[in-house]
């Protein structure tokens, strides 16, 4: 079974996108089982008998159940598929088994797309499917010489021929809303911000160069120091840990002036393509409003998605027009002044001292001035500060990361009676290839502070900017350049080798390809489709799109049928003489003179003349011309002339034949 080789190869390829989600034992088991089947094919070992197979199945299922432990998620479903295929290898004997494997593997390819949508991953998936389809061809024609090469060729040809329809369907098939809600619970923790902040949390993110999101701006990009992407607010200090006081409630949309994020980006608008986070947080610049309707304002000047971002999400925001909060209620005031009952006495003393100097503005500027003047350091390698961490940071160690300083500053401001909160998000972003969009990476994660100043509302204060101005002006790389700690754990990240121009160039180009892939192919969902359709003349709604898709399919089927029908016709009746002779035959049959196999035109003409006496002359002449054309050596007579002559004769015969009713058959064999 040569088909086995192709299916095994497809299986191996389909496992690649899953490598970090599958439990290692499953990968190993699949390797062993597939290898076993492979060896059995070469005849070196035998496939297990029924009992052994049963035992293997039971053991693996038991291990699977033990691993899953009742947590059902898309991940466990995917690993179940993999397990099923792995076990199926042991009993792939008949063609039917191969089809079962083929179907499971095809679905596995679809499941792979749920997890990874990068262009390379998509390529791997499609390549694996191609392997499977070639495998099916060898399964159906096992002994065909050069079967694999011809299989590839045939598959390629078919794909090329069907490509236009596939593209049209992809563009026009209506992107419906989910039919029923299927939260994609993934067992895997994703890298990214979390909803609590302990000093040191963000510094682990700072070692990660994965993409967080990418942004395209309608107008000019804001300058680097203004790129504060707010994600969530932490306003409750629980010992050393900052938490959300309560998950901010989603406000129902207050204004309806939304255009759904359709059309060209206008100045001041920006599109964010967020990598999957499994969270509902939408990151936005300060003072933004939501444009696309998949993001909803959620209080505290934040935005939320309607459902967790389990795949990459595109949303559109606009700068400006944000109405500031007019005043702070007493409840809110209490909430933003909350502090633990005791701890960090020196910080509280500092706050009291600052209050004595004057107004809240002066308190804030005084604290920032202190950070700037005293020898505080911004470092990715902060010392551990177990007890009274804020005191230790402010007065003893004086070394920390943004999370340390943001937490400490909020503590001091609150102790001084100024409502304050920690904001988590990202700060910065590097331009991608061509400079037309920003890439924000996980190491751009940042924490800063917002304080409530009466009359001015919430004001952004970034203690890190006072200590390491380069962090907010050009990014983490420059801020920790002296320390050399930038991405020190990520040996293979291209961002680490920024000083090598070629690496940098290649990585940015790759990112641009991927960005466009994500924006236009992966992200081609409801909104992008409506976006595209709105640019076409005559607005197309979902229903019209449905009709259009059906029309495309119908037209394609019709066209294909016509083409193949025409091809057949041309092949059969390519010869003009042949066509004329055929229509003569039809005429003869109408006259009750059936054509017999092996009959010469002369004989047929004779019988026709017998049955219809008026037709002798044209019939004999017709037969003569046909005979001359086919059987005599080339003569001076032009084929055009002959054709014309034949046509005239045929017409004459038909005219003659119509005058008299069809004669009863003279054929004795009827």
Partner 1 sequence: MTRKLFGSRINRWINRRIPRSDSQTLTQKNLFILPTGAGMVFGILLVVMLLTGINYQNSLIYLLVFMLGALFVGAMHQTHRNLSGLELSLLDAGEGEAGSEIPFRFRLTRAGNDSLAVSLSAGSAVISGIHVPAGESRDIHLPVPSSKRGYVRPDRVRIETRFPFGLLKAWSWLRPASAGIALPRPLPAPDVPGGGEGAREDSNARPIVGQDQADLRPWREGDLTTRVMWKRFARSGQMVVADWESLQSSPDWLDFEAFPGVDVELRLSYLAWQVRERLARGERFGLNLPGETIEPDAGDLHAQRCLRALAVWGLEKPRDTGAMRYGTRSGVDAAPGVGAV
* Catalytic site positions: 402, 446, 462
Residue nearer to partner 1 on the CB measure, 254 or 670: 670
CB of 92 to partner 1, least distance (A): 14
Which one of 101-109, 248-256, 450-458, 636-644 is the stretch in contact with partner 1 (CB under 8 A)? 101-109
Tokens (6 digits) for 130: 């191609």
Between residue 297 and residue 336, which ones bind partner 1 under the rule CB under 8 A? Answer: 310-311
Alpha-carbon span 261 to 274, nearest angstrom: 15
Contact predicate 302/233, CB 8 Å: yes
By CB under 8 A, is residue 141 in contact with partner 1?
yes
> Taking CB under 8 A as the rule, does residue 176 contact partner 1?
yes
- 665 in contact with partner 1 (CB under 8 A): yes
Question: Cα(473)–Cα(97) distance, rounded to whole angstroms?
Answer: 61
Out of 139, 295, 350, 605, the only residue in the binding site for partner 1 (CB under 8 A) is 139
Q: Strand, helix or coil at 321?
A: coil
Total binding residues toward partner 1, as defined by CB under 8 A: 73
What is the SS3 assignment for 451? strand
Q: Smallest Cα–Cα separation from 591: which of 605, 606, 608?
A: 608
Of residues 169, 265, 296, 328, which one binds partner 1 by CB under 8 A? 169
> Which positions from 484 to 523 touch partner 1 by CB under 8 A, shown as an x/- string?
-------------------------------------xxx
Residue range at the interface with partner 1 (CB under 8 A); choices 5-13, 383-391, 406-414, 584-592:
584-592
Shortest Cβ 545–partner 1 spacing (Å): 13
Residues 37-96 that bind partner 1 (CB under 8 A): 95-96
Which tokens belong to 180?
Answer: 């029923």
Does residue 661 touch partner 1 according to CB under 8 A?
no
Binding partner 1 (rule: CB under 8 A), the pick from 65, 84, 110, 559 is: 110
Q: In whole angstroms, how large is the CA radius of gyration of the chain?
A: 38
Q: Per the structure block, which two tokens stand in for 458?
A: 């919430």
User: Does 144 participate in binding partner 1 (rule CB under 8 A)?
Assistant: yes
Residue 151 main-chain phi, psi, to 5 deg: -60, -45
In the chain, DSSP finds a helix count (H) and a strand count (E) of 23, 18
Q: According to the binding rule CB under 8 A, does residue 574 interact with partner 1?
A: no
**Residue 592, interface with partner 1 (CB under 8 A)?**
yes
Does position 30 interact with partner 1 (CB under 8 A)? The reply is no
Q: How far is the CB of 522 from partner 1 (least distance, A)?
A: 5
Does 571 sit near partner 1 (CB under 8 A)?
yes
- The two structure tokens encoding residue 70: 């009742």
Element (H, E) at 236: strand 236-238
Q: Please check whether residue 632 is in contact with residue 608, taking contact to mean a CB–CB distance below 8 angstroms.
A: no
Asked if residue 595 binds partner 1 (CB under 8 A), the reply is yes
As a whole number of angstroms, the distance between CA 67 and CA 60 comes to 10
b/e map 326-343, b = 16+ CB within 10 Å: eebeeebeebbbebeeeb
Q: Binding of partner 1 at residue 146 (CB under 8 A)? A: no
Of 529, 551, 553, 550, residue with least CA distance to 541: 529
**What distance lies between CA 666 and its chain's CA centroid?**
73
Contacts of 327 (CB under 8 A, 6+ apart): none
Structure tokens at 1: 């079974």
- Minimum separation from the CB atom of position 338 to partner 1 (A): 39
| Minimum CB distance to partner 1 smaller for 137 or for 301 | 137
Stretch that binds partner 1, among 56-64, 327-335, 369-377, 554-562 (CB under 8 A): 554-562
Question: Is there binding between residue 602 and partner 1 (CB under 8 A)?
Answer: no
Pick 389 or 523: Cβ nearer partner 1: 523
- Nearer to partner 1 by C-beta: 151 or 400? 151
User: Binding to partner 1 (CB under 8 A): which residues in 392-421?
Assistant: none
- Cβ within 8 Å of residue 378, ≥6 positions away: 400, 401, 402, 405, 464, 467, 468, 471, 479, 480
From candidates 33, 78, 128, 136, binder to partner 1 by CB under 8 A: 136
Q: Kindly identify the residues of this chain, within the stretch 177-196, that bind partner 1 according to CB under 8 A.
A: 178-180, 182, 184
Which lies closer to partner 1 via its Cβ, residue 102 or residue 411?
A: 102
CB of 183 to partner 1, least distance (A): 10
- Chain-centre distance for alpha carbon 35: 32
């Amino acid at each position: 079974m040569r088909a086995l080789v192709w299916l095994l190869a497809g299986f191996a390829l389909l496992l690649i996108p899953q490598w970090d989600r599958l439990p290692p034992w499953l990968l190993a088991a699949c390797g062993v089982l597939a290898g076993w089947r492979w060896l059995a094919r070469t005849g070196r070992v035998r496939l297990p008998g029924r009992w052994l197979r049963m035992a293997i199945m039971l053991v693996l299922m038991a291990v699977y159940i033990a691993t899953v432990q009742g947590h059902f998620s898309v991940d466990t479903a995917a690993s179940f598929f993999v397990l099923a295929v792995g076990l199926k290898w042991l009993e792939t004997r008949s063609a039917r088994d191969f089809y079962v494997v083929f179907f499971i593997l095809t679905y596995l390819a679809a499941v792979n797309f749920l997890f990874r949508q990068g262009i390379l991953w998509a390529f791997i998936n499609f390549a694996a499917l191609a392997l499977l389809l070639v495998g099916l061809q060898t399964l159906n024609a096992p002994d065909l010489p050069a079967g694999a090469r011809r299989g590839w060729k045939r598959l390629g040809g078919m794909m090329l021929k069907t490509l236009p329809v596939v593209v049209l369907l992809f563009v026009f098939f209506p992107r419906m809303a989910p039919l029923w809600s299927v939260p994609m619970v993934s067992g895997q923790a994703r890298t990214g911000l979390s909803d609590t902040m302990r000093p040191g949390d963000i510094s682990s993110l700072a070692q990660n160069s994965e993409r967080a999101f990418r942004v395209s701006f309608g107008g000019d990009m804001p300058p680097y120091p203004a790129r504060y992407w707010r994600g969530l607010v932490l306003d409750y200090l629980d010992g050393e840990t900052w938490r959300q006081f309560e998950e901010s409630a989603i406000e129902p949309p207050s204004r309806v002036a939304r255009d759904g994020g359709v059309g060209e980006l206008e100045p001041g608008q920006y599109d964010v393509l967020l990598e999957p986070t499994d969270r509902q947080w939408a990151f936005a610049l300060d003072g933004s409003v939501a444009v696309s309707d998949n993001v909803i304002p959620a209080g505290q000047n934040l935005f939320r998605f309607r459902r967790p971002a389990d795949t990459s999400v595109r949303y559109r925001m606009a700068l400006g027009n944000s109405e500031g909060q007019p005043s702070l209620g007493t409840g809110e005031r209490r909430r933003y002044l909350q502090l633990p009952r005791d701890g960090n006495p020196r910080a509280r003393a500092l706050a009291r001292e600052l209050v004595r100097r004057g107004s809240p503005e002066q308190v804030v500027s005084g604290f920032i001035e202190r950070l700037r003047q005293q020898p505080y350091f911004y470092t990715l390698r902060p010392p551990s500060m177990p007890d009274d961490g804020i005191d230790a940071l402010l007065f003893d160690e004086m070394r920390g990361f943004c999370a340390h300083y943001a937490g400490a500053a909020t503590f001091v401001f609150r102790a001084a009676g100024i409502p304050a909160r920690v904001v988590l998000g990202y700060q910065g972003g590097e331009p991608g290839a061509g400079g037309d969009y920003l890439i924000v990476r996980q190491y751009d994660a940042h924490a800063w502070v917002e304080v409530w100043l009466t009359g001015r509302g919430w004001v952004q204060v970034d203690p890190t900017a006072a200590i390491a101005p380069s962090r907010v002006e050009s990014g983490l790389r420059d801020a920790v350049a002296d320390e050399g700690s930038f991405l020190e754990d990520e040996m293979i990240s291209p961002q680490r080798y920024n000083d090598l121009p070629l690496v940098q160039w290649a990585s940015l180009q790759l990112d641009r390809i991927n960005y466009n892939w994500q924006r236009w192919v992966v992200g081609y969902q409801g909104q992008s489709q409506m976006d595209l359709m709105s640019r076409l003349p005559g607005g197309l709604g979902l229903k019209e799109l449905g009709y259009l898709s059906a029309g495309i399919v119908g037209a394609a089927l019709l066209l294909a049928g016509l083409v193949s029908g025409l091809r057949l016709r041309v092949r059969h009746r390519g010869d003009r003489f042949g066509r004329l002779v055929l229509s003569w035959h039809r005429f003869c049959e109408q006259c009750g003179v059936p054509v017999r196999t092996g009959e010469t035109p002369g004989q047929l003409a004779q019988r026709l003349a017998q049955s219809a006496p008026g037709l002798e002359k044209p019939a004999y002449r017709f037969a003569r011309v046909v005979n001359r054309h086919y059987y005599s050596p080339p003569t001076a007579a032009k084929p055009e002339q002959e054709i014309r002559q034949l046509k005239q004769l045929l017409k004459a015969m038909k005219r003659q034949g119509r005058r008299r009713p069809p004669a009863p058959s003279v054929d004795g064999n009827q």
